[in-house]
Amino acid sequence: MSQDEAVISTNDDATACKRFAVQLGYWSDSYIQHFSKLGDRKTPEINRGYYARVKGMRTLLNQFLSQTECNCQVVNLGAGFDSLFWLLKEEGLAPKLFVEIDFGNVTSRKCYNIRARRKLQEVFSQDDGLKIDGNEAHSKQYHLLAVDLRKIDALENRLNEIGIDKSLPTMFITECVLVYMEPERSAAIINWAGANFKTAVFINYEQVNMQDRFGQVMIQNLRSRNCELLGACACPDLESHKQRFISNNWDKAEVLDMMSVYNCLPSDDRKRIERIEFLDEVDLLHQLLSHYCIAWAVNDAAQLGLSNIAF
């Protein structure tokens, strides 16, 4: 299996884990089941980790949508089988333009699912004009593009073709994506986004603190499944996650490890999910969550108050 194939397969893992946690009631998502079969049981700490990841990213996105009153764009880089667009449509929170980008192998399977499942098509009205063509899907509001993110010129050209508006507030999302690239590739994406979008937020979920024993075991596990964490050395600690943005055209950056994110989520919801499954070893959850983080960076030329976005 090549490195790219191994990276592509991480999407199947992520989708299966999300589907499993949804099935147990960690959060609601009636669309994820159309992208993945119900796989093997996952441990309670994995399910809680996914809960923190999904809710953490939504917490920042919801603030952005509220501040911009949805008059904005969302670009999900390495989107995999994410169901976020469908959830936002259902909640009446979809932005003006929502773009998903991934390798052609992934987008073609996503296209297949959209074509095959009425539930996934129902969110598109006649007026939206959804067209699925090979490994891409296009509608007025939603675009699924097959682009290798390491090719910045192609990324730029394709986004221009579908009419991205660089002056509109834009949120970039990379959820467990950048770590699979060489550090100079991920830096180039962040740099390009920061240079071109001056009223924007970039949110990145990724591994951190991988140099201790627990981190090394995680890296080893991924290697044994043929997947290298090529970018793990780019940001060895929380501070370097911030600095990667600051030194690549972003005015402000913040970062929290996932244990802190978990503790910031609404306590009544945390209490609810903590009752779903008994967690034997709380230490294991702490260890796991301290090896992931969410970093977010802001450029706010239009002075919309995007710097106030926080946990």
Annotated binding-site members for S-adenosyl-L-methionine: 53, 78, 148-149, 175
- The 8-class DSSP code of residue 51 comes to H
45, 102, 206, 257: which one contacts ligand SAM (CB under 6 A)? 102
The dihedral formed by the CA atoms of 138, 141, 147 and 149, expressed in degrees to the nearest 10? -170
The pair of three-digit structure tokens given for residue 70, joined into one six-digit string: 């949805």
Determine if 117 is a binding residue for ligand SAM (CB under 6 A).
no
136, 175, 254, 300: which one contacts ligand SAM (CB under 6 A)? 175
177, 193, 253, 285: which one contacts ligand SAM (CB under 6 A)? 177
Residue 192 and residue 133: Cα distance in Å, rounded?
A: 28
Residue 61 and residue 84: Cα distance in Å, rounded?
A: 10
11, 141, 290, 299: which one contacts ligand SAM (CB under 6 A)? 11
Determine if 49 is a binding residue for ligand SAM (CB under 6 A).
no
16, 22, 52, 106: which one contacts ligand SAM (CB under 6 A)? 106
Q: Which stretch binds ligand SAM (CB under 6 A): 98-106, 218-226, 238-246, 263-271?
A: 98-106
Q: Helices marked H in the chain — which ranges?
A: 3-24, 44-67, 84-90, 104-116, 118-121, 152-161, 183-196, 213-224, 238-246, 258-264, 267-274, 282-289
Determine if 231 is a binding residue for ligand SAM (CB under 6 A).
no
Q: Which stretch binds ligand SAM (CB under 6 A): 60-68, 127-135, 145-153, 161-169?
A: 145-153
Instruction: Choose between 77 and 304: whose C-beta lies nearer to ligand SAM.
Output: 77
For tokens 């579908």, name the residue.
162
Residue 17 and residue 20: Cα distance in Å, rounded?
A: 5
The dihedral formed by the CA atoms of 238, 240, 246 and 251, expressed in degrees to the nearest 10? 10
- Chain residues binding ligand SAM by CB under 6 A are 7-8, 10-11, 14, 78-80, 82, 102-103, 106, 148-150, 175-177, 180-181
